[in-house]
Amino acid sequence: MERLQEGESKVILFFSNSNISPKAEYDKRLEAARTLASAWDLKLVEDIYDHQAWLEAVKGYENEPEKGRRCPVCFNFSFARTAAFARERGIPAFTSTLTVSPHKSAAVIADTGAKYPEFRFYDFKKKDGFKRSQILSRELGLYHQHYCGCEFSLRDMNKKKGKHDHDPK
């Protein structure tokens, strides 16, 4: 938020995360977004949670590893919804905070976003962006997720940890 608010643009948060599963995880992340919006005095708009539509979009990619071919399809699903939201409201540009994560490829995010004329690419990892996000998250007491969000990422994380359930802890 610090970097986005440096410019003259008005920032609106759009929470479009139909990929997140289970719903309880979605709710935790949405509550963190609400806390952030309140702390920064920003408007937060929640997209309709449609996990079934997301599952249809990534069908055939369920066994792809994290950072595999499923990720750009997932990004595209959310970017298409975000672009539609922006167009409907006359918002000239949007970006994604996905690039703050060291677990996400900025190049893949940039390539996926380039399909949308309204998309503005920022690599929020640069200039210690991830480190700064961690500091701000601790200060605000934000929930820290342990996997990307989808059940396939959770499944793979649990396999690596030798767990057989779907508990993200």
C-alpha span between 48 and 72 (Å, rounded) = 20
C-alpha distances (whole Å) from 161 to each of 19, 41, 53, 102 are: 22, 39, 29, 20
pLDDT tens digits along 5-23: 776 678 999 999 999 999 9
What pLDDT sits at residue 127? Answer: 86
pLDDT tens digits along 49-100: 999 999 999 999 999 998 999 999 999 999 999 999 999 999 999 999 999 8
Residue 166, both tokens: 């779907």
- If one counts every other C-beta atom within 10 angstroms of the C-beta of residue 3, the result is 14
Residue 20, both tokens: 């997140």
List, in sequence order, every residue forming a beta bridge with 128; answer none if it has no partner: none
